[in-house]
């Protein structure tokens, strides 16, 4: 991979081919719980992350990696969850989202925010499945 002055990594055609091969290897060695084992043991979350990144690179797309601090502001948490800041504050008030106070500021643990995002996505999936079943039962 080549590096630009902005510290961006640009995948060459060879890099893209290697990404495709490694993604295929991960898929081939994936276990029922979606972990990967073989010469390299990966947990399911890391395997999924790598697979998505590799597939994106292999397809010529861009991948941005970032990390989050242990505590997030309510604004950042809202962006992660996909709701407004006022909704995050309601979730905090209702006890749905644990928080800590840093001075007068409300902060949320990163793990709690991602768990809330996952619960929200699961509810959306369940609602969509119910809608599909309703349409099927009505013959639509």
pLDDT digits (tens, 9 = 90+) for 62-110: 887 777 899 999 999 999 999 999 999 999 999 999 999 999 999 999 9
Beta carbons within 8 Å of 102's beta carbon, 6+ residues apart:
71
Listed in order, strand segments (DSSP E) in 5-140 are 9-10, 71-73, 100-102, 105-109
CA dihedral sign, ordered 65, 55, 44, 1: negative
> Domain residues for 112?
71-138
Q: Is 85 within the bounds of a domain?
A: yes
Q: Is 66 within the bounds of a domain?
A: no
- The residue-averaged pLDDT of 9-27 equals 84
Residue 75, pLDDT score: 96
Say how many domains are in the chain: 2
- Domain with 132 in it: what CATH number? 1.10.1660
pTM confidence score: 0.57
Q: Mind listing the pLDDT tens digit for each residue in 21-72?
A: 988 888 888 776 656 666 677 777 788 888 888 998 888 888 877 778 999 9
Q: Do 38 and 47 touch, CB atoms closer than 8 A?
A: no
Instruction: Tell me, yes or no, whether 49 and 96 share the same domain.
Output: no
State the DSSP code for 63: -
Instruction: Tell me, yes or no, whether 50 and 76 share the same domain.
Output: no
Instruction: Tell me, yes or no, whether 88 and 134 share the same domain.
Output: yes
């Amino acid at each position: 991979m080549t590096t630009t002055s902005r510290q961006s990594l640009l995948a060459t055609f060879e890099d893209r081919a290697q990404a495709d091969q490694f993604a295929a290897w991960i898929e081939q060695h994936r276990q029922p719980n979606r972990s990967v084992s073989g010469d390299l043991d990966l947990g399911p979350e890391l395997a999924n992350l790598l697979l998505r990144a590799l597939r994106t690179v292999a397809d010529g797309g861009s991948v941005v990696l970032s990390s989050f601090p242990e505590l997030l502001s309510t604004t950042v948490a809202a962006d992660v969850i996909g709701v407004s800041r006022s909704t995050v504050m309601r979730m905090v008030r209702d006890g749905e989202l644990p928080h800590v106070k840093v001075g007068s500021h409300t902060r949320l643990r990163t793990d709690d925010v991602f768990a809330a995002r996952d619960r929200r996505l699961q509810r959306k999936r369940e609602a969509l499945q119910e809608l599909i079943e309703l349409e099927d039962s009505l013959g639509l």
